[in-house]
Amino acid sequence: MAADVIYTDENWRILTKQQLVESLTPLPKGYSGSIRMANIQSRISGDAVVLSYRALEEEYVFGQKLSPVYLVTDTYFKRDGRWQMIASHVIVLPSERKSITVNPKLYKSIVGEYELTDAIRYSITLEGDKLMGQRTGRTKEELLPADENTFFPKGTIRGEKVFVREASGRVTRMLDRRENNDLVWKKVESK
């Protein structure tokens, strides 16, 4: 590892080599685990190498198993005849969200058209017992409940839909939440 390494960890901290080394400690009592590499890819150009891989962790916390997956990109330079890591970036890949069961009667208040602009709408329909959403020009997606007012597209971690209600219970807006930033869509039509 180079003395001037830039290390970005899974908690979004940018660490120097000294900070990284100081942060390394044994696992606490009751913890154990291992990490293995998978999906390894590399690019080599002269005295530079980029290595990208998934770090698959098996962690046991007081007997309970956790299986986080990290996406890691490391960059190496050849300096003075030695390969040295000069940068590493680690992120945690979120696990697939789990939906809950809600009263399907709630779906009726959500069904309708939501407008971002005059030309861009998000249509929510009910197909059997499934809530479906479709943005103008895109494919239809199933929306699964996280709670009574929050739904998420099946198979992705982005695009959570939060439905804002008046005191009467009528839905007036949809917040299209991405990394805790909201696009506000106004409900323009009920179906």
Q: Is residue 130 part of a domain?
A: yes
Buried b (16+ CB within 10 A) or exposed e, 71-98: ebebbbeeeeeeeebbbbbbeeeeeeee
Q: What letter does residue 110 receive in the DSSP assignment?
A: H
> Residue 145 has which token pair?
């409940």
| CATH number reported for the structural domain that contains residue 169 in this entry | 2.40.128.50
> Using CA of residue 39, residue 40, residue 42, residue 48, what is the dihedral sign?
positive
Same domain membership, residue 123 and residue 77: no
Same domain membership, residue 115 and residue 83: no
Per-residue pLDDT of the chain (191 residues; tens, 9 = 90+): 999 999 999 999 999 999 999 999 999 999 999 999 999 999 999 999 999 999 999 999 999 999 999 999 999 999 999 999 999 999 999 888 888 988 888 899 999 999 999 999 999 999 988 999 999 999 999 999 999 999 999 887 788 999 999 999 899 999 999 888 999 999 996 54
How large is the greatest C-alpha to C-alpha distance in the chain, in angstroms? 72
Where in the sequence is the domain holding 45, given as residue range(s)?
6-93
Predicted pLDDT at 95: 81
Give the DSSP H/E element, type plus range, for residue 134. Answer: strand 130-135
Predicted pLDDT at 190: 53
| CATH number reported for the structural domain that contains residue 62 in this entry | 3.10.450.50
Same domain membership, residue 10 and residue 89: yes
Q: Is residue 81 part of a domain?
A: yes
Give the DSSP H/E element, type plus range, for residue 21. Answer: helix 17-23
Domains in the chain, number: 2
